[in-house]
Amino acid sequence: MRAVALGLYPGTADPNATYDRMVDEIAAVGATHVALVVSWAQHDVRSVRIGPRRDQTVPDALVRRVAERARDRGLAVILFPILLLDQNRPGEWRGTIAPADPTAWWRQYEAFILHYADLAATTRADVLFVGSELGSTEGWRERWQHLVGQAKRRFTGRIAYSANWDHYQKVSFWRRLDILGVTGYFKLTRHRDAGVAELTRAWGEARKALLAFATQRPGPALWLSEVGYVSRDGAATRPWDYTLSSKIDLEEQRRCYEALRRTWTGTAELGGVVIWNWLGNGGPRDGGYTPRGKPAERELRAWFR
- In three-state secondary structure terms, 47 is coil
102: domain range? 2-304
Round to whole Å and give the CA distance between 279 and 290.
6
* Residue of 238, 231, 227 lying closest to 263 (CA atoms): 227
Q: Do residues 203 and 239 lie in contact, with contact meaning Cβ atoms separated by under 8 Å? A: no
Q: Do residues 138 and 163 lie in contact, with contact meaning Cβ atoms separated by under 8 Å? A: yes
Q: Do residues 276 and 226 lie in contact, with contact meaning Cβ atoms separated by under 8 Å? A: yes
Helices (H), 35-140: 60-72, 102-122
**Residue 278 burial (CB < 10 Å; 0-12/13-18/19+)?**
buried
Kind of pairing between the strands at 158-163 and 33-42: unpaired
- Digit-by-digit pLDDT tens for the chain (305 residues) are 999 999 999 987 677 778 999 999 999 999 999 999 999 999 999 999 999 999 999 999 999 999 999 999 999 999 999 999 999 899 999 999 999 999 999 999 999 999 999 999 999 999 999 999 999 999 999 999 999 999 999 999 999 999 999 999 999 999 999 999 999 999 999 998 999 999 999 999 999 999 999 888 778 999 999 999 999 999 999 999 999 999 999 999 999 999 999 999 999 999 999 999 999 999 999 999 999 999 999 999 999 98
Report field, pTM of the whole predicted structure over 0.85: yes
Q: Do residues 141 and 95 lie in contact, with contact meaning Cβ atoms separated by under 8 Å? A: no
Looking up residue 160, the CATH number of its domain turns out to be 3.20.20.80
Round to whole Å and give the CA distance between 300 and 298.
5
Round to whole Å and give the CA distance between 213 and 216.
5
pLDDT at 219: 82
Residue 192: CB atoms within 10 A of its CB come to 14
Q: Do residues 16 and 24 lie in contact, with contact meaning Cβ atoms separated by under 8 Å? A: no
Cis peptide before 277 (omega within 30 of 0): yes
pLDDT at 215: 85
Round to whole Å and give the CA distance between 160 and 83.
15
Question: Is the Cα torsion angle 197, 203, 209, 210 positive or negative in sign?
Answer: negative
Round to whole Å and give the CA distance between 186 and 262.
15
Rg (CA), the chain: 18
Q: What's the one-letter identity of residue 218?
A: P
Q: Work out how many domains the chain is built from and give that number.
A: 1
* Residue of 2, 115, 4 lying closest to 51 (CA atoms): 115
Q: What's the one-letter identity of residue 26?
A: I
Kind of pairing between the strands at 127-132 and 2-7: unpaired
